[in-house]
Structures are given as structure tokens and as C-alpha cells.
Amino acid sequence: MSADTSFLEKYKSASARNRSLLCVGLDPNPNHLPDSLKGRPDGISRFLTDIVSATSDLVCAYKPNFAFFGALGESGFADLAGLIRNSPGDIPTILDFKAGDIGNTARRYAAMAYETLGADATTVNPLMGSDAVLPFLEYKGSCAFLLCLTSNPGSADFQRLETGDRTLYEAIAARAVEWSESGDCGLVVGATHPGELGGIRALAPGLPFLVPGVGAQGGNAEEVVRTGADADGGGLLINASRAVLYASSGSDYAEAARQQAERLRSTFEAARASTPA
């Protein structure tokens, strides 16, 4: 994490420069690599380097998912560290590992994310409350995206439970606004919940939203922009992973990823242009 430029500054600058709300998720699966890279010791590293090079002028952020790297052992961790270290310095990286633990452990998670790996932001599970969240906010310029109403079907098991006069996800959104006085917070809100997205935006008008679920999970991009954008027409990082990464398994994988990223960016921008101010 750069001490000179905050996550929010990087995000807003990249979004304006690239005219983009697109965040590309970097979830490397050895079984899905292009045929030319399967089995190569540097296959993951080469693949991700090519994807980033092909899309860096089209995105507002990158989101490497820790599980896909951690599952590969030492080489995966090294690939993750190299990816973050060598990514364009003016585009933020969000380490997606949904950490959530007691304060002492949360501090070590935060140290791994920001000191060891150099990420600009993280995803955090707030179920254990302030103990799990506040250690991430101690890093000036970072941003903790709290799981709020996630895109998976099982999100309804707990996130929609009533807690007094509001649902759990609404309580998380309201608390994130309070915690943002200590450090920058964002919310993870799935594109598969367009009906609720506007209500969450009303509760947290100034927070950035990381929005997974467009593409393979079926979320509607136009609805996300229409209901989730902030007062300036931004505040969204709409994530696409598989749809971009694995657009082709042939030698044209990088160009195919670029074409898909361009299509998604254009879709988001068209929706933004047609949304009343």
C-alpha cells in the first residue's frame, strides 16, 4: 500500500481516467488456464501479467482472491505478492479474503494484507464486530470493504434476518458509516440484489460499493448502476472475474479478456449516461 496515495484517491483517479466502473477479479485456476500455459511453472504469473497488461486502461481496480492463490501453496503466495507488487501503481488492488477474527488475529491479517502483500484495500467479514474491523482501519489510506449483502444464494440465511427494526445487512451498512469516521470503509453488495441496492445506498450515501455478481452469477449491470451509484454517478466497483479471465482458452486469451472488459465497461458507462442525475 502506498503511503502517499490512498485507496479512494487511486480508485477515483483510475475510474475518471479510464471512464470505468469495472473491477476485474483475479482468480487464477490452473485447470482453466489457456492451453499454452497449463503445466508451466510460471503459468499463473504469466497469465495474470498478460491479463493486467491487456486491461489496465479499462478498469478502476483489480481484486485478487486470496483463496485461489493460497490453494497453490508457496508458489501461489509468491505469485500473489508479485502480482500486487508489479501491478500498475495508479490502479488500486483489493485483497479479497473476507477476514474476520478477534482483534489480535485481525491485526495479523491486516499486517499480511497491507505490509507483507502491499494491497490497497481488503474485504472483511464484520460478523465479529468492531474487534474484527477496526484493526484494518488503523492503516491510513486503506479501505475495508465489509460484507453486507453478498451475491451468493446463501446470503439470505443470515444477512436478511431481522434485527429489531432493520435487517442485519442494513445494520451492517449503518455501522460501516459510523466506523468510516475511524478509517475508510466500503460495502460488498451483490449485483444479484438490485432491489435492495438503492436502500443500502440511501443508508451509506458516501461509501464505495464493491459489487460482485455481474456476469457468471447473472447480475444486471444496468440496474446496479441505476440504483447503486452515488450522487456523483460513481462509488461503484463492479466486479467481473471469470467472464474476463477466461474469455478464451486459446492463444488470444489476453485480447479476448480485453474485448470482454471493453464490453463490460461500455455497458456500465452507457447505464451511467442514461441514469438521471
What is d(CA 195, CA 232) in angstroms, rounded to the nearest whole number?
Answer: 20
Nearby residues of 7 by Cβ (< 8 Å), 6 or more positions away: 1, 92, 120, 121, 141, 142, 143, 184
| Amino acid at residue number 191 | A
Backbone angles phi, psi at 236, to 5 degrees: -120, 140
**What cell numbers appear for 273 in the block?**
449516461
Q: Are 111 and 133 in contact (CB under 8 A)?
A: no
Q: Is 98 a catalytic residue?
A: yes
How many CB atoms lie under 10 A from the CB of residue 42? Answer: 11
| Amino acid at residue number 178 | E
Three-state DSSP string of 176-238: HHHHCCCCCEEEEECCCCHHHHHHHHHHCCCCCEEECCECCCCECHHHHHHHHCCCCCCCEEE
**What cell numbers appear for 97 in the block?**
479474503
What is d(CA 118, CA 96) in angstroms, rounded to the nearest whole number?
Answer: 13
- Which residue among 38, 63, 98, 140 is the active-site one? 98
What is d(CA 244, CA 256) in angstroms, rounded to the nearest whole number?
Answer: 8
What is d(CA 1, CA 118) in angstroms, rounded to the nearest whole number?
Answer: 4
- Residues recognised as catalytic: 98
